[in-house]
Amino acid sequence: MMLTLLAKKREKQRLTRDEIKKMIDGYVGGQIPDYQMSAMLMAICCNGMDDEETVDLTMAMVESGDIVDLSAIEGVKIDKHSTGGVGDTTTLVVAPLVAAAGVPVAKMSGRGLGFTGGTIDKLEAIEGFSTALSKEQMTKQVRDIKIAIAQQTDALVPADRMLYALRDVTGTVSSIPLIASSIMSKKIASGADKILLDVKFGSGAFMKTVEEAEKLAQAMVAIGELVGRETRAVLSSMEEPLGKQIGNSLEVEEAVQILRGKKDGHLKQVCYVLAGNMLHMAGIVPSVRAAYPVLDSLIQSGKAMEKFREFVIAQGGKTDFIEDLSILPQASYQMEVLSEKEGYITTMDTHQIGMCASLLGAGRMKKGDAIDLSAGLIMHVGLGDWVRRGDRLAVLYTNKKEALIDASTLLRDAIKMSEHSVKKGRLIYGIVDKNGLHTE
């Protein structure tokens, strides 16, 4: 069978739903060897898939494992997914904000890999916090307090786990049908009624240009709509770190400061756009803009912070860090990185800044690596800023003193300056839904 399918895809012919289903079942069941599936992935990477094929691949992957049933929870359940980036702490802010507004949030999240942080790692910086929830525990918690975040289990979309491992070593990661089916299979299997995607573009994102991000967003929205799930995608910039604090405990700290109403900036702006879309999709507000005063009120009244506290308690975490952030894991060594020249910051290699955090211990290079929850850095500059010689660019935090010099060199190299200012790009480029791209 597999030889026939390989020949079809090599000749740019479309595969049927039944063929795709048998292929995925055969691979997960061990009847199709890696070398044949690798050939198929390369054929898809070179010749693509149409929308119907991509949907069929997605659903075959969904059906390869457990499917979470959230129907017992009242209200519209909306899942949110980010394609990853540096300082992307949105889930820790958005989830309690949306739950405080009355929209149930049942989210399965992953761990960080490479330069991108993982929500599960960040939450585990909170003493006692457990992300190992059963489906029954997760459902009950969302029913009781409107919010739960758990780690993805091995039984959820095993086909994706197997295919991604193969894509990673065969140079077939950068295929939009394969990326879209990977992300959407997990979102659909997680049981949400509607799906909101945050698709990043820029130096710190997988999609380097807004055009690539738009293509991926359109593919994922098409999948969601074709399987009956309203899906939207926000196109947001990762040309510089989203949050100023990068690293697990540091990002928890920044999330708390935003929920307390003590911090503004790009991270809060993106959180508002994501939360606003979720409230609109749930029918809580008549428009996304109408959600912003609601979100302001939830923060100013303390309701968002109280929901975060309730969420931490429900999953076994201690909450004393909310009043005293120094209780979070602290690194033994820190180092200021000072500018050696002056000028306007014109570009930032955000990927390289993320790798700097990983070098300090905040990230893992391969699945299963141990990470240092206290490690990371705090940025003190952003794109467009005027910097003088001797000004502080960032502060590094680590328990590996020997990493500080290399990390500081990496950081300085990531920041380019000029005597002339440049126009900054938009933080939010637009929204993609079933009607296309909206940039206003």
Q: CA-to-CA distance for 366 and 363, rounded, in angstroms?
A: 9
Burial class (CB in 10 A: 0-12, 13-18, 19+), 30: exposed
**Each residue of 212-240: pLDDT tens digit?**
999 999 999 999 999 999 999 999 999 99
Does the 2-48 domain belong in CATH 3.40.50.300?
A: no
Asked if the 332-418 domain carries CATH number 3.90.1170.30, the reply is yes
Candidate list 77, 81, 146, 161, residue with the active-site label: 81
Domain with CATH 3.40.1030.10 in the chain: 78-322
Residue extent(s) of CATH 3.90.1170.30 domains in the chain: 332-418
Which residues make Cβ contacts (< 8 Å) with residue 368, sequence separation at least 6? none
Q: Is 71 a catalytic residue?
A: no
pLDDT-based confidence at residue 155 (cuts at 50, 70, 90): confident
Q: Which CATH architecture has domain 78-322?
A: 3-Layer(aba) Sandwich (3.40)
Q: Is 266 a catalytic residue?
A: no
What confidence score (pLDDT) does residue 206 get?
84
Sheet order of strands, 194-201 included: 78-82, 194-201, 230-237, 428-433, 436-438
Is 326 annotated as catalytic?
no
Residue with the two structure tokens 């020249």: 341
167 among known catalytic residues: yes
pLDDT in tens, 241-258: 999 999 999 999 999 999
Catalytic residue among 22, 146, 186, 229: 186
Residue closest to 326 by CA, chosen among 258, 250, 397, 265: 250
List the catalytic residue out of 79, 88, 121, 160: 160
The 10s digit of each residue's pLDDT in 344-402 is 999 999 999 999 999 999 987 666 678 899 999 999 999 999 999 999 999 999 999 99
Active site residue 200: no
Burial grade of 56 (CB within 10 A; 0-12, 13-18, 19 or more): buried
Sheet containing 392-398: give its strands across. 245-246, 376-379, 392-398, 333-338
pLDDT digits (tens, 9 = 90+) for 100-148: 999 999 888 877 655 566 888 899 999 999 999 988 898 899 999 999 9
Specify the domain boundaries for CATH 1.20.970.10 within the chain: 2-48
